[in-house]
Amino acid sequence: MTNEMTDSFARYAGWSAYASVAATIVAFIFLVIFFSIGQPFGTLNDIFSVFQVLFMLPLVWYLYTQLRVSNAILNWVAVLFGVVGILTTASAQTLLVFGRVGFEQSLPYNLAGGAAIGVWLILCNALAMNQNVLPNGLTFAGIVAGIGYILLVIGFWIGGQSHPLFIGGGLAALIVYCVWGIWLGRVLLNG
């Protein structure tokens, strides 16, 4: 890949990071409104959740291209978790939006997808930290966001939406993922 192509894809990935964060925030707002008012805000949350994860795909590929120098196997494992998690979550949410499955049917796939996204965030940011590809604070935020995703899933499996791990993990995933995405977007767009 030429430098011009690499720079162009970095900008694309940077804007994708911003778009993922924007979709995350809008999805969360619609979720809060849904719990207060009801439909159609649940469906709007589901729609924006699809875009939230799909905008992560360029990030998976960009980080893979930056991290493939060393730990190639672990880098591929990270990509596998990222792509499978993103596509699983996006597919389950899309089927939910179009009424092909119910919430209960989509839940195991959304949880598995979320856990896989968490593993991707942890692995790719740990590799980036190890290789000094990104600022250490940024990679630390990515690891914390990944842990948040995993804790959210564990908390839900243990006790549902009212379990402290679900709430704490969800807040970490929401807040720290947004910080990570904005910071990553800024790094990629500013070179």
pLDDT at 79: 96
Distance CA 28, CA 124 (A): 25
Residue 167 domain boundaries: 3-190
Taking only the tens place, the pLDDT of each residue in 123-162 is 999 999 999 889 999 999 999 999 999 999 999 999 988 8
Instruction: Determine the longest span between alpha carbons in the chain, in angstroms.
Output: 51
| % pLDDT > 90, the chain | 87
Whether the predicted pLDDT of 21 surpasses 90: yes
- Mean pLDDT over 82-95 rounds to 98
Alpha-carbon torsion 12, 58, 168, 128, what sign? negative
Number of domains within the chain? 1
**Residue 92 CB contacts under 8 Å (≥ 6 apart), including other chains:** 101, 106, 109, 110, 113
